[in-house]
Amino acid sequence: MPHFGTTARQIRERLRESDRRFSLRQVARRVGVEPAYLSKIERGVVAPPSEATTVRLARELDQDPDVFLAMAGKVSSDLQEIIRRRPKLFAELIRQLREAPDEAIFRVVRVVRDGDW
Amino acid sequence: MPHFGTTARQIRERLRESDRRFSLRQVARRVGVEPAYLSKIERGVVAPPSEATTVRLARELDQDPDVFLAMAGKVSSDLQEIIRRRPKLFAELIRQLREAPDEAIFRVVRVVRDGDW
DNA sequence: ATGAACGTGTACTATGTATGACACACTACT
DNA sequence: AGTAGTGTGTCATACATAGTACACGTTCAT
C-alpha cells in the first residue's frame, strides 16, 4: 500500500507542472487547511487528516475519494453506515470476498447493477 | 437502530435469570473493565466502548460481534481492512447494495459462497 | 444481622486526533 | 533590489476517546 502523504505530494507536483495553482500553499487554501499542516501531511510528519479533509484533498487533486481514504487508513463513513444497517449480511458478504480475485468481485458488481439474474 | 447500552443490559439480565454469574460486576470482571464503567455503558452515560471491549462483551453475552459493533456505531476493523485493500471495487459493490432487499444480498452471499456460477 | 456481593455517583487521567499560529529561509519575478 | 510567493520548523491547543479508582448505599444469602 502506497504512503498517503508521498502519493498526495507526487500527484500535486505532477499537476503543478502544467498549472502553477497547484502549489502547496494554494492547494492548502482551497482545501481549507494551513500550509504548514499540508506540508506535514505530505511528508508524513503527522498522520493523515480527518475523513472530511482527506476527501476535500482528493477532490482538489482529482482523485477517487475512496482510494485516498484507503491510503489514509480509513473507510468512508457512508460505506460504514450502509454496513451498520445490516451488519450480519454485509459482514458475511465482505469476508466471503476477502480472497476473491478482482474479476470475481467486479462480476458481482455488474450482476447486481444490471439486475438481470 | 436499538440502543447499545440498553440492549446489552437487557441481554445480560435475561441471561442472569438462569445464571447469577451474569451480574454486572462479574461480567465486567470477565470482560476486563471496571464495574462502574460497564454500569455507565449499559445506561448510556458514556459512549459505547472500544472495538476490542465491545467484541469481548458481545462474546461474553453470546452475541454476534458485528451486530454489537454496529449498535456501537462501529464497523469491525478486519472488514475495514478488506475494503481498504480494494477500495474502488468494494465501495462500488457496497453502494450498489445500499437499497437492495436483504434477500438479494443474501442471494449474492450464497452465490459467492457456493462458487458455482 | 452481618458480611459479601451488588449497582452506581463522582472525580480523575492518559493518550490520541486534528488541527492553528507564527516565524523563518529560500526562490522567482519585475 | 525588493516584494510576493513558497515550503517548513516549532509550539500550542481544543476536543474526543477510553477508560481507572474509590466511595457509597442497597440487597442477598446464610
CATH code for residues B4-74: 1.10.260.40
pLDDT tens digits for range B48-101: 999 999 999 999 999 999 999 999 999 999 999 999 999 999 999 999 999 999
Q: Where are chain A's structural domains?
A: 4-74, 86-114
Q: Which residues contact A100 (CB under 8 A, 6 or more apart)?
A: B112
Please give, rounded to a whole number of angstroms, the shortest distance from the CA of A59 to a CA of chain B: 15
Q: Which residues contact B86 (CB under 8 A, 6 or more apart)?
A: A102, A105
Do the Cβ atoms of B97 and A112 come closer than 8 Å?
yes
Determine the average pLDDT of the residues in B98-108.
Answer: 94
Using DSSP's 3-state secondary structure scheme, residue B40 falls into: helix
Q: Which one has a higher pLDDT value, B114 or A61?
A: A61
C-alpha torsion B39→B45→B48→B49, nearest 10: -60
Q: pTM of whole model > 0.85?
A: yes
Is pLDDT at B117 greater than 70 in this prediction? no
Cα A112 to Cα A4: distance, rounded to the nearest angstrom: 32
**Predicted local distance difference test score (pLDDT) of residue A112:** 86
Instruction: Give the one of A66, A82, A90 whose C-beta lies nearest to B87's C-beta.
Output: A66
Instruction: Give the one of A76, A96, A112 whose C-beta lies nearest to B97's C-beta.
Output: A112
Do the Cβ atoms of B12 and B24 come closer than 8 Å?
yes
The confidence band for B1, taking pLDDT boundaries of 50, 70 and 90, is confident
The confidence band for A116, taking pLDDT boundaries of 50, 70 and 90, is low
Single-letter amino acid, residue B65: P
Q: Which one has a higher pLDDT value, A114 or B93?
A: B93
